[in-house]
């Protein structure tokens, strides 16, 4: 039984495990929100957040008037038959706007973080990138994205401009969603490229080369947007 204080991410991880173990089978309708809320001992609001995360990652699919189902597997060849979930923030910002903002904001943040990251922080970025790689191989999609978020978060924490850091926090939810959104249509080659891009960003930051770190981050986010079919 889950403690009520646990975050939706913990519940999402448990449900992902149920899918991977076959306890919840492809095409199967998941239990009602009431039943799941009782099972995990959480509020329906927290459960809905967990389910939305899993839907964005392509593990669940909601059909109007029918309910939420375990998505049919497309992981043998990611990117061939997956589909992206509806954009959660369409009532405020388009996904294009968020990617465009990320390019400007995170590119500048990366440039200003150069020379300010400790060896320990850079090593943590290396480990996060390795974790991304390993979790993609095992299809632990939640952990893959968590490692990606840690990588970007470490750079933000080292930015020398307090206002840019604060601006990033105001759009963090939307930024996080663009890191999850393309996952269902990401093929293995694109993930390999993304991991290589992370390592180029780390190399630029290790060299204290702000302009290069900015360019590498901008290119990384543009390439991620292209994976989602966008050209910001």
Buried b / exposed e over 147-163, threshold 16 CB at 10 Å, is bbbbbbbbbbebbeeee
Q: In this predicted model, what pLDDT tens digit does every residue of 74-125 receive, in sequence order? A: 644 444 446 888 999 999 999 999 999 999 999 999 999 999 999 999 999 9
pLDDT at 82: 66
The CA-CA-CA angle for residues 26, 27, 32, to 5°, reads 105
Rounded Cα gap, residues 83 and 160, in angstroms: 38
- Bridge partners of 179? none
pLDDT at 80: 41
Q: In this predicted model, what pLDDT tens digit does every residue of 121-172 receive, in sequence order? A: 999 999 999 999 999 999 999 999 999 999 999 999 999 999 999 999 999 9
Long-range contacts of 201-209 (CB under 8 A, 24+ apart): 201/110, 201/155, 202/122, 202/125, 202/126, 202/129, 204/110, 204/114, 205/110, 205/113, 205/114, 205/117, 205/122, 205/125, 205/155, 206/122, 207/114, 208/114, 208/115, 209/114
pLDDT at 214: 98
pLDDT at 6: 53
Q: In this predicted model, what pLDDT tens digit does every residue of 168-214 receive, in sequence order? A: 999 999 999 999 999 999 999 999 999 999 999 999 999 999 999 99
pLDDT at 40: 87
Q: In this predicted model, what pLDDT tens digit does every residue of 41-64 receive, in sequence order? A: 889 999 999 999 999 999 999 888
pLDDT at 65: 84
pTM: 0.90
Rounded Cα gap, residues 12 and 136, in angstroms: 17
pLDDT at 124: 98
């Amino acid at each position: 039984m889950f403690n009520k204080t646990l975050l939706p991410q913990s519940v999402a991880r448990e449900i992902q495990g149920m899918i991977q173990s076959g306890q919840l089978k492809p095409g199967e309708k998941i239990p009602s929100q009431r039943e799941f809320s009782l099972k995990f001992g959480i509020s329906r609001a927290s459960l809905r957040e967990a389910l939305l995360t899993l839907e964005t990652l392509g593990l669940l699919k909601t059909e109007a008037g029918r309910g939420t189902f375990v998505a049919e597997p497309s992981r043998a060849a990611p990117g061939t038959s997956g589909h992206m979930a509806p954009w959660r923030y369409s009532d405020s910002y388009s996904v294009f706007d968020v990617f465009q903002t990320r390019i400007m904001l995170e590119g500048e943040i990366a440039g200003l973080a150069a020379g300010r990251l400790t060896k320990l922080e850079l090593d943590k970025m290396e480990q996060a990138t390795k974790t991304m790689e390993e979790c993609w191989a095992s299809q632990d999609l939640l952990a893959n994205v968590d490692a990606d978020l840690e990588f970007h978060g470490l750079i933000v924490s080292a930015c020398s401009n307090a206002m840019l850091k604060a601006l990033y926090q105001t759009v963090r939810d939307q930024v996080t969603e663009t890191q999850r959104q393309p996952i269902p249509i990401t093929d293995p080659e694109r993930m390999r490229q993304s991991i290589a891009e992370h390592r180029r960003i780390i190399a630029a930051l290790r060299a204290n080369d702000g302009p290069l770190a900015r360019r590498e981050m901008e290119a990384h986010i543009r390439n991620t947007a292209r994976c989602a079919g966008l050209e910001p």
